[in-house]
Structure 1
Amino acid sequence: MKIVIIGLLVTIFAIHESQQTYAEYAEYIDYLDQIHQIKTKPIEDFTTLSKKFDDLEKKFEDLRKTVTAVKTAELPKFVKIGSKYYYIDHAEEVNWFVAVDKCRAMDANLAGLQSMEELKAVSDKLTERDYWLDINDLGKKGVYQTLSSGQNAGFLNWHDGEPNNGSGNERCVVLRKIRSKYAMNDEKCEIKHHFICQKNQLE
Structure 2
Amino acid sequence: MNVKIVVLLISMQLGHFAMSHETPNLFAQKNELGKCVSSCGDFPIKIGSKLYYIETKLKENWFSAAESCRRWGGYLLNIESATEIELIVSITNSDRFWVSANCLAQNRNFISIATGVAMPYSSWQPGQPDNLAGNEYCVQAAKAGLSDEPCETRLNYVCQANIL
Alignment TM-score > 0.5, same fold: yes
**Counterparts in 2 of 1:42-61, with a 5 A limit?**
none
**For structure 2, which runs of at least 5 residues remain unmatched after alignment?**
1-40
- Map of 1:6-17 to 2, 5 A cutoff? none
- Aligned identity (percent) is 31
Aligned mates of 1:168, 1:182 — CA distance in 2: 22
Partners of 1:93 and 1:194 within 8 A in 2:
yes
User: Relative contact order: is structure 1 or structure 2 higher (C-alpha 8 Å, sep ≥ 6)?
Assistant: 2
Bigger share in strand: 2
Counterpart in 1 of 2:158? 196
Partner in structure 2 of residue 147 of structure 1: 113
The CA deviation string for residues 142-173 of structure 1, in whole angstroms up to 9 with x for no partner, is: 11100121112222111111111010010000
Alignment partner for residue 111 of structure 1, among 62, 77, 91? 77
Structure 2 residue 118 is matched with structure 1 residue 160: no
Give the deviation of 1:85 after TM superposition: 0.8
1:179-190 → structure 2 map (5 Å cutoff)? 181-190=143-152
C-alpha RMSD of matched pairs (Å): 1.4
Compute the TM-score of the two structures, normalised by the length of structure 2. Answer: 0.71
Moved more, 80-89 or 95-104: 80-89
> Residue 43 of structure 2 contacts residue 161 of structure 2 at CA under 8 Å; is this kept in 1?
no
Between the aligned partners of 1:175 and 1:167, the Cα distance in structure 2 is 18
CA distance in 2, matches of 1:99, 1:105: 10
More helix by share: 1
Separation of aligned partners in 2, 1:182 and 1:107: 29
CA distance in 1 between counterparts of 2:77 and 2:132 reads 23
**Match of residue 47 from structure 2:** 81
What CA distance in whole angstroms lies between the structure 1 residues aligned with 2:87 and 2:74? 19
Does structure 2 conserve the Cα–Cα contact (< 8 Å) formed by 1:82 and 1:118?
Answer: no
Larger radius of gyration: 1
- For 1:129 and 1:120, locate their aligned partners in 2 and report how far apart those are by CA, in whole Å: 13
Which 4+ stretches in 1 moved above 3 angstroms? none
1:73-109 alpha-carbon deviations (Å, 9 max, x no partner): xx53421123311000011100000001100010000
Conserved? CA contact 1:123–1:182, under 8 Å: no
After superposition, residues 117-132 of structure 1 pair within 5 angstroms as 117-132=83-98
The count of residues paired between Structure 1 and Structure 2 equals 124
What are structure 1's unaligned runs of at least 5 residues? 1-74
